Structure 1
């Protein structure tokens, strides 16, 4: 009987530990790490981080991208090719005052990695990232749904 109680206590302790650890750290988003394809580009939304904003009514998010050119010719991509759509349907363009926004030409078969910075209202918990390149139209629905990390 004593052994049974010890095993039950160990099982419950293990279960509580696993649940506690799974709740720690960054908020998991369904589409983080997912790759979408458009305009001969394999675009992966690699990570999302919350950054400090100078505006009390806004929050700054950093999205990390990896863009592979699968075409036969050079192609361009950058943070300005993505917008953030909030639940109210408004679209928010790249925050242009951050010099770390990525963008460049990508040779055929090569990959470009870098961050994009976007300022959105503070009350947002989940947003949609949309690939909308300036230079060309894409008819493909290329979006990611991400959860905003908590502070």
Structure 2
């Protein structure tokens, strides 16, 4: 009976250790997976990836979004509505030469999913994603803090 209890304790401790170690790989400040609400849109930053950049001094950051229109009228959203702010305070707009940037009208109650591509300096480890839509009317602004993935 004592052997079974010892094996059970070893098994439980192994699970606890595995969970603790797996949690260490993600920065506490990372907002990936979090939803922000502005202008009748529920925007979730679903993921990040690094892509190859044509410039050795830069890196291409892919941001994957899910945007749900919670309003009663159609609304637009796209990669151009988001900017990347680096630690030096500079803002980097969507990389316009990538044809895979998302953007479209979203009917009321519907969701649009897609990716935006942003070229940022190669030395960045953490950036802020800003929602700053092109609009002449006053709009809500929200942000996410994101750890740049390793190459």
After TM superposition, the score normalised by the length of structure 1 is 0.84
| Structure 1 position 39, deviation (Å) | 1.0
Tell me the distance in 1 between the aligned counterparts of 2:72 and 2:98: 32
Aligned CA distance change for structure 1 residues 21 and 73 (closer, same or farther; 3 Å):
closer
Equivalent residue, structure 2, for 1:143: 143
Equivalent residue, structure 1, for 2:30: 30
Tell me the distance in 2 between the aligned counterparts of 1:141 and 1:17: 38
Equivalent residue, structure 2, for 1:126: 126
How many aligned positions are there? Answer: 146
Equivalent residue, structure 1, for 2:89: 89
Equivalent residue, structure 2, for 1:45: 45
Secondary structure of the residue aligned to 1:120 is strand
Tell me the distance in 2 between the aligned counterparts of 1:57 and 1:140: 33
Does 92-101 or 27-36 show the bigger shift?
Answer: 27-36
Structure 2 gaps of 5+ residues are: none
Q: Which runs of at least 4 in structure 1 moved beyond 3 Å after TM superposition?
A: 15-24, 136-139
Equivalent residue, structure 2, for 1:60: 60
After TM superposition, the score normalised by the length of structure 2 is 0.84
Deviations 1:70-121 (A, max 9, x none): 1111111000000000000000000011111000000011000000000000
Tell me the distance in 1 between the aligned counterparts of 2:43 and 2:99: 21
Tell me the distance in 1 between the aligned counterparts of 2:91 and 2:33: 22
Asked whether the equivalents of residues 82 and 133 of structure 1 are also in contact (C-alpha less than 8 Å), the reply is yes
Structure 1 gaps of 5+ residues are: none
Asked whether the equivalents of residues 39 and 139 of structure 2 are also in contact (C-alpha less than 8 Å), the reply is no
Tell me the distance in 1 between the aligned counterparts of 2:41 and 2:18: 42
